[in-house]
Amino acid sequence: MTDVRFDDRVVVITGAGNGLGRTYALEMGKRGAKVVVNDLGGSAFGDGADKAAADVVVDEIKAGGGEAVANYDSVTDGDKIVQTAMDSFGKIDVVINNAGILRDKTFHKMEERDWDLIYDVHVRGAFKVSHAAWPYMRDQNYGRMIFTASAAGIYGNFGQTNYAMAKLGLHGMSQTLALEGRSKNIMVNTIAPIAGSRLTETVMPQQLVDALKPDFIMPLVVKLCDENSQETGGLYEVGAGFIGKVRWERSKGHSFSVSQGFNAEDVNDAWDEIVDFTDADHPSSIAEANKPLIKNLKS
Ligand SMILES: NC(=O)c1ccc[n+]([C@@H]2O[C@H](COP(=O)([O-])OP(=O)(O)OC[C@H]3O[C@@H](n4cnc5c(N)ncnc54)[C@H](O)[C@@H]3O)[C@@H](O)[C@H]2O)c1
pLDDT, tens digit only, all 299 positions of the chain: 779 999 999 999 999 999 999 999 999 999 999 999 999 999 999 999 999 999 999 999 999 999 999 999 999 999 999 999 999 999 999 999 999 999 999 999 999 999 999 999 999 999 999 999 999 999 999 999 999 999 999 999 999 999 999 999 999 999 999 999 999 999 999 999 999 999 999 889 999 999 999 999 999 999 999 999 999 999 999 999 999 999 999 999 999 999 999 999 999 999 999 999 999 999 999 999 999 999 999 88
Per annotation, catalytic residue among 72, 136, 163, 236: 163
pTM: 0.98
Q: Are strands 242-246 and 235-239 parallel, antiparallel or unpaired?
A: antiparallel
| Ligand 1 lining (C-beta closer than 6 Å) | 14-15, 17-21, 38-42, 44, 53, 74-76, 98-101, 121, 125, 148, 150, 193-195, 197-200
For ligand 1, the distance from its centroid to the CA atom of residue 49, given in whole angstroms, is 14
Assigned CATH for 10-246:
3.40.50.720
Q: Hey, whose CA ends up nearest to atom 32 of ligand 1? A: 74
Domains of the chain, by residue range, sit at: 10-246, 247-299
Say which CATH topology domain 247-299 has.
Helix Hairpins (1.10.287)
Closest ligand 1 atom to residue 76 Cα is 31
Alpha-carbon span 93 to 227, nearest angstrom: 9
Distance of CA 253 to the CA centre of its chain: 31
Output the pLDDT for position 2.
Answer: 79
Of 50, 56, 3, which Cα lies nearest the Cα of 31? Answer: 3
Residue from 101, 167, 215 whose mutation best tests the ligand 1 pocket (most atoms within 8 A of CB): 101
For ligand 1, the distance from its centroid to the CA atom of residue 17, given in whole angstroms, is 9
Residue from 13, 27, 36, 40 whose mutation best tests the ligand 1 pocket (most atoms within 8 A of CB): 40
CA angle 149, 137, 18 (to 5 degrees): 40
Contact 190/174 with Cβ under 8 angstroms? yes
Alpha-carbon span 118 to 150, nearest angstrom: 13
Output the pLDDT for position 126.
Answer: 99
For ligand 1, the distance from its centroid to the CA atom of residue 197, given in whole angstroms, is 8
- Examine the residue annotation and report whether 155 is marked as an active-site residue of this protein: no
For ligand 1, the distance from its centroid to the CA atom of residue 239, given in whole angstroms, is 15
